[in-house]
């Protein structure tokens, strides 16, 4: 039996490549790794896909797939092959190991920074696309990339840019532009520039530019920076000031120019607009409430999707969204809601709902995220219970709920449900990860063969009966309805491309 069903080879390829990439950058879940191991052992076609995909991964380290300590069965070691030539020559190597085998001595983690986001980035070395950086040189040919260091320092580089990571608190900028933000944990972060120029951050926001001819500019947007021009006497720069250092000349002051550097706000805005555009190209998109800023009419939530079914905002207030240049709606009162009429939509037996939420409290027992009004057969409910469970149900069919404490308060999370009524299943997701769920069937004399959305509400429910307060408390941003059941790979990609 195949441990992971796929509808086609393309979906299988995407899933395998994503798990390998996640494993390399340290974000793969143990469940994903176990699934990959089982799939490769059971499916020759999957092993062929892995063999051909391995040339793209360039995984640099040998890694052991973990198994439960209680198991005494032989374990499997995946030897991730270094380099394209080795990958083509060797491919996948499965070799047995035993619990009594010598344990390798723990090595210090060589990774100093991770790629937290990028926009149209093209690298000189294919290794850099893996998203983890250790000591050494980096060259960004074009585009924008954001790196986050272990100590919390963030830098954004703009291509063309050549940079060398010296250690966890020091980089050397050969040429290009660099924007940096350093929290207290990264106090003293250094940027070295040609000809002995040194910039030391004292907990601030700053920019450094180096031209191919060796001219250096340092701009301070917040806080204080120490500059040692040409390895000479220290000069202090404060917010709003800048300095230009030309080879063989005395440094001279400038006014700081924030517009000449890409900061986190601008990068997030670029990434959001790229995500927004790609969603509008999808054939399976039905509804897309993007919460565009500013909300043109406070009482209207515009549907940017093909159905053009605008929602009516009742009480909820526009507030800051999950990222720059974005609005969200704040739901505080029990009556706050967005009313939408979906009677004209024909959904069939497959659909998916995805949205970004930031709950502030679980004081209400059944917090509605996306609910059909009433309990008619086929009505859809997606909500959070007061113990942090994410729950979905179709009246007259089935109910699925995740474990307790799945959803957290005061943090942005991407929640989603994907229904297939014909196959009698629903899959719940948080931040692109498939959740374990518990299913219970409803007893009904009326068979349900399709969803019946009808009139719905986002953030509340029209009939808070049975003593349940079903209104949501917190912020909601970007609600999407798709006509099909999205796969695990698609949900993961949707989260990755839309996260703040």
Note the pLDDT of residue 369. 95
Q: Label each residue of 114-177 as H, E or C.
A: EEEEEEEEEECCHHHHHCEECCEEEEEEEEEEEEEECCCCEEEEEEEEEEEEEECCEEEEEEEE
Residue 183 phi/psi, 5-degree rounding, is -75, 175
Sheet holding 438-441, edge to edge: 300-301, 311-314, 337-342, 454-458, 366-372, 380-385, 390-394, 398-401, 438-441
Please provide residue 131's backbone torsions phi and psi, each rounded to the nearest 5 degrees: 90, 10
Nearest to 243 by CA among 222, 223, 227: 227
**pLDDT, greater one: 170 or 25:** 170
Longest Cα–Cα distance of the chain, Å, equals: 89
pLDDT bucket at 83, cuts 50 / 70 / 90: very low
Q: What percent of the chain has pLDDT over 90?
A: 43
The confidence band for 95, taking pLDDT boundaries of 50, 70 and 90, is very low
For 279-288, what is the mean pLDDT?
Answer: 94
Q: What is the tens place of the pLDDT at every residue in 42-62?
A: 777 777 666 555 544 333 333
- Tokens describing residue 96: 């047995």
The pTM of the whole model exceeds 0.85: no
Instruction: Classify residue 268 by burial, with Cβ atoms within 10 Å: 0-12, 13-18, 19+.
Output: buried
Average pLDDT over residues 403-417: 95
Dump the DSSP string for 314-362: ES-EEEE-SSTT-EEEEE-STT-EEEEEETT---TTEEEEEEEEEES--
CA distance 338 to 340: 6
Mean pLDDT value of segment 278-293: 89
Q: Which two tokens stand for residue 80?
A: 């991730």
What is each CA distance from 346 to 209, 343, 482, 486, in whole angstroms?
55, 8, 12, 17
Kindly report the three-state secondary structure assignment for every residue of 186-215: HCCCEEEECCCEEEEECCCEEEEEECCCCC
Beta bridge partner(s), residue 266: none
Nearest one of 314, 313, 320 to 289, comparing CA atoms: 313
Looking at every residue in the chain, the average pLDDT score rounds to 80
Identify the weakest region by mean pLDDT among 22-36, 94-108, 114-128, 463-477: 94-108
Joined together, the tokens standing for residue 320 give: 């800051």
More confident: 246 or 125: 246
CA 43 from centroid of its chain's CA atoms: 30
DSSP string over 419-458: EETTTTEEEEEETTEEPP-EEEEPP-SS---S---EEEEE
Q: What domains sit in the chain, N to C, each tagged with a CATH number?
A: 9-97 (no CATH), 113-262 (2.60.120.1440), 272-498 (2.60.120.200)
pLDDT, residue 126, reads: 60
* pLDDT tens digit sequence for 6-47: 666 666 776 776 677 666 555 666 666 777 777 776 777 777
pLDDT at 377 over 90: no
- Closest by CA position to 113, among listed 140, 144, 149: 149
CA distances from 280 to 288, 290, 324 (A): 8, 11, 20
Closest CA to 66 of 39, 96, 99, 30: 30
pLDDT at 78 over 60: no
Q: Which letter does DSSP use for residue 229 in this model?
A: G
Q: Of residues 426 and 450, which shows the higher confidence score?
A: 426
Q: Which of 120, 191, 209 is nearest to 153 (CA)?
A: 191
Specify the pairing of strand 154-167 against strand 380-385.
unpaired
- Other Cβ atoms closer than 10 A to 488: 22
Beta-bridge partner residues of 178: 157, 208
Instruction: State residue 5's pLDDT score.
Output: 57
Label residue 230 left, alpha or beta by phi (over 0 means left) and psi (-120 to 50 means alpha): left
- The 10 Å Cβ neighbour count of residue 420 is 16
């Amino acid at each position: 039996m195949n441990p992971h069903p796929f509808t086609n080879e393309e979906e299988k390829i995407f899933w395998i490549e994503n798990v390998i990439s996640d494993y390399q950058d340290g974000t793969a879940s143990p469940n994903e790794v176990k699934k990959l191991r089982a799939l490769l052992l059971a499916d020759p076609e999957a092993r062929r896909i892995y063999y051909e995909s391995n040339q793209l991964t360039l995984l640099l380290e040998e890694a052991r797939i973990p198994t439960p300590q209680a198991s005494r069965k032989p374990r499997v070691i995946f030897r991730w092959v270094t380099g394209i030539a080795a990958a083509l020559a060797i491919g996948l190597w499965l070799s047995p190991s035993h619990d009594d085998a010598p344990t390798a001595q723990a090595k210090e983690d060589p990774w100093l920074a991770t790629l937290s986001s990028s926009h149209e980035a093209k690298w000189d070395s294919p290794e850099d696309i893996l998203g983890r950086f250790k000591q050494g040189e980096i060259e960004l040919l074009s585009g924008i990339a954001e790196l986050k260091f272990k100590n919390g320092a963030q830098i954004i580089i703009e291509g063309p840019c050549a940079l060398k990571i010296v250690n966890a608190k020091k980089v050397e900028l050969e040429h290009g532009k660099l924007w940096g933000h350093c929290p207290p944990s990264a106090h003293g972060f250094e940027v070295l520039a040609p000809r002995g120029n040194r910039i030391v951050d004292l907990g601030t926001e700053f920019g450094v530019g180096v031209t191919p001819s060796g001219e250096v500019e340092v701009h301070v947007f917040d806080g204080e920076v120490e500059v040692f021009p040409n390895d000479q006497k220290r000069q202090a720069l404060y917010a709003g000031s800048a300095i230009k250092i030309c080879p063989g000349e005395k440094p001279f002051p400038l006014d700081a120019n924030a517009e000449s550097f890409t900061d986190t706000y601008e990068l997030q805005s670029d990434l959001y607009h790229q995500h927004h555009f790609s969603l509008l190209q999808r054939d399976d998109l039905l509804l897309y409430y993007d919460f565009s800023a500013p909300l043109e009419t406070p009482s209207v939530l515009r549907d940017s999707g093909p159905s053009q079914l605008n929602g009516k905002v009742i009480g909820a207030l526009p507030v800051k969204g999950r990222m720059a240049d974005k609005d969200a709606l704040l739901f505080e009162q029990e009556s706050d809601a967005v009313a939408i009429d979906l009677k004209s939509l024909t959904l069939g037996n497959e659909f998916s709902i995805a949205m970004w939420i930031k709950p502030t409290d679980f004081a209400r027992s059944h917090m509605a995220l996306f609910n059909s009004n009433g309990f008619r057969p086929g009505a859809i409910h997606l909500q959070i219970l007061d113990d942090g469970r994410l729950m979905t149900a179709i009246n007259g069919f089935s109910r699925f709920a995740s474990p307790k404490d799945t959803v957290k308060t005061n943090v942005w999370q991407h929640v989603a449900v994907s229904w297939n009524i014909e196959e009698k299943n629903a899959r719940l997701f948080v931040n692109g990860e498939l959740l374990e769920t518990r299913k219970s069937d409803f007893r009904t004399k009326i068979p349900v063969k399709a969803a019946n959305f009808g009139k719905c509400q986002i953030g509340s429910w029209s009939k808070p009966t049975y003593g349940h307060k079903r209104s949501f408390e917190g912020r909601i941003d970007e609600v999407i309805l798709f006509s099909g059941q999205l796969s695990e790979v698609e949900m993961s990609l949707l989260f990755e491309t839309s996260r703040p």
